[in-house]
Amino acid sequence: MRITCTVNGQTHQADDVWEGESLLYLLRERLGLPGSKNACEQGECGSCTVFMDDETVCACLVAAGQAEGREIRTIEGLSEGDRLHPIQQAFVETGAVQCGFCTPGLLIQVADLLRNNANPTDLEIREALAGNLCRCTGYEQIIEAVRLAAARIHPTGEFAR
Amino acid sequence: MTTTQTITHTGRIGDSAQRPDGTLKVTGQFAYSSDLWMDGMLWGATLRSPHPSARIRSVDIGPALAVPGVHAVLTKDDVPGLNAYGLDHADQPVLAADVVRYQGEPVALVAADHPETARLAAERIVVDYEPLPPVTDAMLAVGHISWDTPGQTGVPRVHPEGNLVRHVKIRKGDPDPQADVVITGEYEVGMQDQAFLGPESGLAVPAEDGGVDLYVATQWLHVDQRQICIALGLGPEKVRLTLAGVGGAFGGREDLSMHVHACLLALHTGKPVKIVYNRTESFLGHVHRHPARMRYQHGVLRDGTIVYVRASIYLDGGAYTSSTPAVVANAGTMGIGPYDVPNVRVDCYGAFTNNPPCGAMRGFGTVQAAFAYEAQLDRIAAELGLDPVDIRCRNAMREGSRMTTGQLVDSAAPVDELLRRVQALPLPPPVDPTQLDLREQPGGVSNTTHGEGVRRGVGYAVAFKNVGFSEGFDDYSTARVRLEVVGGEPVVTVHTAAAEVGQGLTTVIQQIVRTELGVENVVLAPADTQIGNGGSTSASRQTYVTGGAVKAACELVRGEVFDIAQTCYGRAVRDLHLVDGKVISPAEGGIGSLADLLIGTPVERTIEWRHRPTYPLDPETGRADAHVQYAFAAHRAVVDVDTELGLVKVVALDCVQDVGKAINPQAVRGQIYGGALQGLGLALMEEIVTTDGIVRNASFTDYLIPTVLDAPPMQVEILEYADPHAPYGLRGVGEPPTISAGPAILAALRNATGLPLTRIPVRPEHLIGSVGR
Ligand code: FES
Ligand code: FES
C-alpha cells in the first residue's frame, strides 16, 4: 500500500508498504529517519516514542497504515535548526545521555510532559517517564535534566500556552 | 560511516567535560549499529534451536529458498573456516553441526530483501531434531551429589571433555582453624541479563578484495576480528571491523553474536547484509550473568573477628565456555569480600549445562559472591548482637592487607571509611507510611497499600572488584596521537580501537589530551581494526588502560615538540610546558607557539601501553599476584516493604566509592547511578527464568528491568585516594556499585522483615514468609 503522512512538517510518501509494517519501520527504513529507536518493538521500552498529531505513541505499536494523513513529529524534528531544544541541551549538560539509545524516546516524552506541566514535581516527572526504559543512567541525571529544562523553558514555572 | 568528529567542548582531567557524541545523540543523528543502511542491502535472519539439547538428524533448506525475495540460506556446510568460536576457548559453533546444546543456538541463516521475508523464510527451514534430556543443574553437572562431594550423578556430558569448565581453589592459612561461633548459609542467585537497549546488530559489506568490512556494535573489535577470521578462513587484512554506535553493553557484547553470520551472508550473496535482533532474539542470542549456588561458613570470635571462611560456589556457565574460566577465578579470588581473614578455603566451580550460555556481565563473578558474603556478615552481626557496620569495619581489608591469594593490597583500600561515610549520609526522614503519596508506596499506583503493613528497613554492604584483566593476561591498549597545525590552529587526532559503549571513554580521551598537550581541539578517529588492539571495554579497564595509552602517547608527542622547540630556540631549556598551544618555560617565558613550530610537520606517536603484569593462580592454593588493582564501593539502602503482599519500594540507595581520581565527576556519578540500579534489578526483579533449559521470559514484558519509578534517589560521595600505580591515580569505576547495591537492598529487606532471604531476585512470596527463605 501507499502511505502519505507529514513528518516533522514535511510530507512524505512511501510505496509498497506491507500491511504488517509498523510506523517505526516506516520511519526508520522507508523514510530514512532512524532517530526513533527499536529497542523492543513490543511497546515496553519507549525508545520509539514519537508525536502522532498531539499525542505521544510507541511507533512500534502503531501500524504504518494508521499514520495515513497524520502528522508525526520525531526526534529529528525537535531542535529548531542548529539550535538544540532546551530539553536536548539539558540532557547533554547533566550527563543524562550515556549510550543514548533511550534518549530520543525520552526527549519526546519530556517534551510532552513539559508542554502540559510547566513545573513538574519529581513524582510527576517519574510518573510521566515510567514507560521509558533506560539501562545506563539509573535515571538520576535524566530527572536532573528535566528539572533544568523546565526551569529554563518556564523560568516562572508557568507554561505559556 | 568513516567521518571524523570535530570537537569543540572543552574540559580537562577532573572537569565534567561534555560528551563529544552528546549532540548527535540528542538529535537522533548518532548512527547506532541498527541504523546502518546501504543501497541494495539485504536483511539477515537466524534460525535457532527450539531445544536445549538435541541431535540434528537433517536440515532441509529447500522451502526457505523457494520464498520469493530470499537470496541465500546457509547452514554449517557453508562455514568456510573453522566452525567454532569463543573468547577463551573456541567451542561454540557458528552454525550448529550435529547437535544443539542450548535453546536459541543458531542453526541456519537467511538473507532476503525484507526483514520479515527473511524471518518467515527461516521458519520454513525444516530441521529434524531428536530431543535429548537437558543437563540443567550445575552441581550435578560437575559430578557432585552435594557441596564439594563427588559421586555418581549420571548426568550426560554436554561436551566430550566433561562438564567442569574450571575449578579454582583458594587455600590460605590454617586448614583447621578454631572459632567461637560458626555461621553457615546457603545462597542462590538467578540468571541476570545485561538488557542493553540497542539490539545486537551490524552491517557486513563484501569488498572487492574478497574480504569483508563489518560495522558492528561490540565491546572489543580485535577479539571479534580474530574469531571472525578463523570462522571465515580469511586473514586479518581481509576482515576489517569498524565500531558502529553501541546502545549499551554491560558485558553482553564481549562474545560474538551476529558478526560471523552477517559476514557469511555478505560474502555469499555479494551484497551488504544487515542483521538486527529483535528483543526475544537478543535474550536468546547473548550470554548472561552466571546463576550461582553458594554455601558459606564463617567462623568468628565473640568480638566479631572473622577467623575463617569456607565457601563453595557453583556457577552455571551454560552450554559453552565463553568467559566462564575468568568468572570462576573472580568469584574464587574475591569470594570472601573485602575482608582481612587469616584462614580461607574457597572452591569455585564453573559448569557446562544445557542452560543459556553465561559469560561477562558487569561485576563478573563478584556480584554473586557479594550477595552471599554480605548476607553472612549480617547474620554474624545479628548472632553476636553487633552493629552490621561495626562488624564490617572490624574485619575490613586495608592498604597492606593480603588477599586470599596472598597478593599484597598495595594501594588505598578504604573499606571502613567508605562504610562510615555512607552511614553518615543523611537518611530519608522517618515517615508515617499511611501519610505517603500513593506513588511512594510499595506497589505504587497499583493501589495495593495506603501504608498498612508497610515496614522500613536499612541495610549496608561493601564490595570490591578487580580492575583490568588478570592472571597473566597480556592486557594492553594501543593509541596513536597526532598533533598538527591546521589553518593556523593546533589540532590533535587520536586513534584507538577501544569501544565507546556509552560509558564516556571518548570524553575521557579528549580530557586526557587537553591536559597533556594543552590543545583544545581534539578529534577522535573512528574506532576500527586499522590500529592495534585496544582491549576490551570491560573489567572497568578502558579509562585505565586506553586512557593510559593515550596519556603515554601524548607524553611522547610532547617530548618531541619540546625537542623541536629547543632546536628552534637555539639551546636547551629546562622545565618546559605546553599550554594553550604554546611551549613555555616559567624561567624564560614563551619559547614558541605550536603554529610556528609545527608548520607542515605533524608530530605523531603510536604506543602500546600495558598495566603492571599479573600472574596465573597456583592450581592448588590459588596463590598469585593475580590482579592489577582493586576498586571499592559501599552502599546503604533504605526500603519500605509491604509485609502483607511482599512488595518493595526502595526509598534511598546511597553510595560512597573510591575512584582514585575522578577524571570526569559527572560521568563517574552516572556510572554509580546506573551501576547501582542494575544491582537493584538483580536484587528485586531481574531473572531469566528457565524450565528444563527453556527460557520462559525472553521479552521486556516478562523480564523486568527497573523503570524510573523503581529507581530511588541516590546520594553519591566520591573519594579520591590515588593509586600510585595507575595513570592519574585513577581506579576503574563502572563495576563496584553494581556489586554492592543489591546486597545492601537485601540487608535492608532482612532488617525490615526479619526473614533470612537467601535467594535473589527476591520474590514477593519470599517477603511475606510464605516460602521458607
Ligand atoms: S521499541 Fe517501541 S516500545 Fe520499545
Ligand atoms: S543512556 Fe543507555 S539506555 Fe539510556
Reported confidence tier of residue A160, pLDDT bands at 50, 70, 90? very low
Chain segment A57-87, per-residue pLDDT in tens: 999 999 999 999 999 999 999 998 889 999 9
pLDDT > 90 fraction of chain B, expressed in percent and rounded: 94
Chain segment B580-633, per-residue pLDDT in tens: 999 999 999 999 999 999 988 999 999 999 999 999 999 999 999 999 999 999
pTM: 0.97
Residues B499 and B590 in one domain: yes
- Is B646 among the domain residues? yes
Class level of CATH domain A3-77: alpha beta
Paired sense of beta strands B99-100 and B343-351, if any:
unpaired
- Residue B600's φ and ψ, nearest 5 degrees, are 75, -5
Chain segment B204-217, per-residue pLDDT in tens: 999 999 999 999 99
Reported confidence tier of residue B433, pLDDT bands at 50, 70, 90? confident
Residues B595 and B500 in one domain: yes
Residues B622 and B750 in one domain: yes
- Is B438 among the domain residues? yes
Reported confidence tier of residue A157, pLDDT bands at 50, 70, 90? low
Residue ranges of domains in chain A: 3-77, 86-153
pLDDT > 70 fraction of chain B, expressed in percent and rounded: 98
Chain segment A97-134, per-residue pLDDT in tens: 999 999 999 999 999 999 999 999 999 999 999 999 99
Q: Strand, helix or coil at A123?
A: helix
Residues B628 and B599 in one domain: no
- Is B421 among the domain residues? yes
**Using CB atoms and an 8 Å cut-off, which of residues 115-134 of chain A contact chain B?**
122-123, 125-127, 129-134
- Is B46 among the domain residues? no
Residues B585 and B674 in one domain: no
Residues B501 and B449 in one domain: no
Q: Average pLDDT, stretch B374-378? A: 98
Chain segment B76-121, per-residue pLDDT in tens: 999 999 999 999 899 999 999 999 999 999 999 999 999 999 999 9
φ/ψ region of B453 (left if φ > 0, alpha if ψ in -120 to 50, else beta) reads left
Residues B681 and B561 in one domain: no
- Is B321 among the domain residues? no
DSSP B304-338: S-EEEEEEEEEEE-TTS-TTHHHHHHHHHHTTT-S
- What is the model's pLDDT at position B770? 62
Reported confidence tier of residue B66, pLDDT bands at 50, 70, 90? very high
The total of structural domains in chain B comes to 2
Cis-peptide into B764, omega within 30 deg = no
- What is the model's pLDDT at position B8? 41
Residue B2, pLDDT above cutoff 90: no
Query: Which of B8, B10, B23, B26 to probe by mutation at the A interface, max A CB count within 10 Å?
Result: B26
- Is B432 among the domain residues? yes
Q: Where in the sequence is the domain holding B704, given as residue range(s)?
A: 396-470+618-771
Q: Does domain A86-153 have CATH number 1.10.150.120?
A: yes
> Which domain-ending residue is among B610, B628, B657?
B610
> Which domain-ending residue is among B610, B639, B663?
B610
- What is the model's pLDDT at position A80? 82
Residues B582 and B624 in one domain: no
- Is B141 among the domain residues? no
- Which helix H or strand E contains A31, and what residues bound it? none
CB B27 within 8 A of CB A34: no
Helices (H) and strands (E) in chain B, counts: 17, 31
> Which domain-ending residue is among B556, B582, B610?
B610
Q: Computed from CA positions of residues A106, A107, A109, A113, in that sequence, does the dihedral angle turn out positive or negative?
A: positive
Q: How far is the CA of A136 from the centre of ligand 2 (A)?
A: 4
Chain segment B618-676, per-residue pLDDT in tens: 999 999 999 999 999 999 999 999 999 999 999 999 999 999 999 999 999 999 999 99
Reported confidence tier of residue B715, pLDDT bands at 50, 70, 90? very high
Residue A154, pLDDT above cutoff 90: no
Pocket of ligand 2 (CB under 6 A): A 97-102, 134-137; B 197, 248, 502
Q: How far apart are CA B603 and CA B148, in angstroms?
A: 60
- What is the model's pLDDT at position B771? 54
Contact residues on chain B for A143, CB-CB shorter than 8 A? 708
Chain segment B481-530, per-residue pLDDT in tens: 999 999 999 999 999 999 999 999 999 999 999 999 999 999 999 999 99
Residue A1 touches partner B, C-beta closer than 8 Å: no
**Using CB atoms and an 8 Å cut-off, which of residues 36-75 of chain A contact chain B?**
36-42, 44-45, 47, 74-75
Chain segment B492-506, per-residue pLDDT in tens: 999 999 999 999 999
Residue A81 touches partner B, C-beta closer than 8 Å: no
Residues B518 and B576 in one domain: yes
Q: Which of B27, B247, B439 sits opposite A99 (nearest CB)?
A: B247
The residue in chain B having the minimum alpha-carbon distance to the alpha carbon of residue A88 is: B26
Chain segment B170-184, per-residue pLDDT in tens: 999 999 999 999 999
CATH number of the structural domain spanning residue B535: 3.30.365.10
DSSP 8-class letter at B745: H
- Ligand 1 atom closest to Cα of A40? 4
Q: Which of B348, B347, B341, B346 is nearest to B299 (CA)?
A: B341
Give residue B488's Cα distance to chain centre: 43
- Is B400 among the domain residues? yes
What mean pLDDT, rounded, does chain A reach?
Answer: 95
Residues B455 and B598 in one domain: no
